[in-house]
C-alpha cells in the first residue's frame, strides 16, 4: 500500500517576491535550503 505524496499550496507572502525558489520554499515550509533545492531540482516544486 503506497501513500500519496503530500501536496501543499501557498501564495507567496509579501517580501518573498524575487527570492530564489529554494530560499522562499525554505522560509515558507521550514525546510533547509539544501532540502528545498533538492525538491526543486527533482521537479517537486511548481511555481505559477
Domain boundaries, the chain: 16-48
Distance CA 23, CA 41 (A): 13
Distance CA 15, CA 27 (A): 11
pLDDT of the residue at 37: 96
pLDDT tens column, 1-48: 667 778 888 888 888 888 999 999 999 999 999 999 999 999 998 887
pLDDT of the residue at 2: 67
pLDDT of the residue at 21: 92
pTM: 0.73
pLDDT of the residue at 1: 60
Angle 24-41-5 from CA coordinates, rounded to 5°: 80
pLDDT of the residue at 24: 93
Amino acid at each position: 500500500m503506497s501513500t500519496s505524496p503530500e501536496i501543499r499550496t501557498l501564495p507567496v507572502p509579501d517580501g518573498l517576491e524575487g527570492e530564489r525558489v529554494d530560499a522562499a520554499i525554505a522560509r515558507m515550509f521550514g525546510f533547509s535550503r539544501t532540502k528545498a533545492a533538492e525538491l526543486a531540482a527533482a521537479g517537486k516544486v511548481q511555481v505559477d
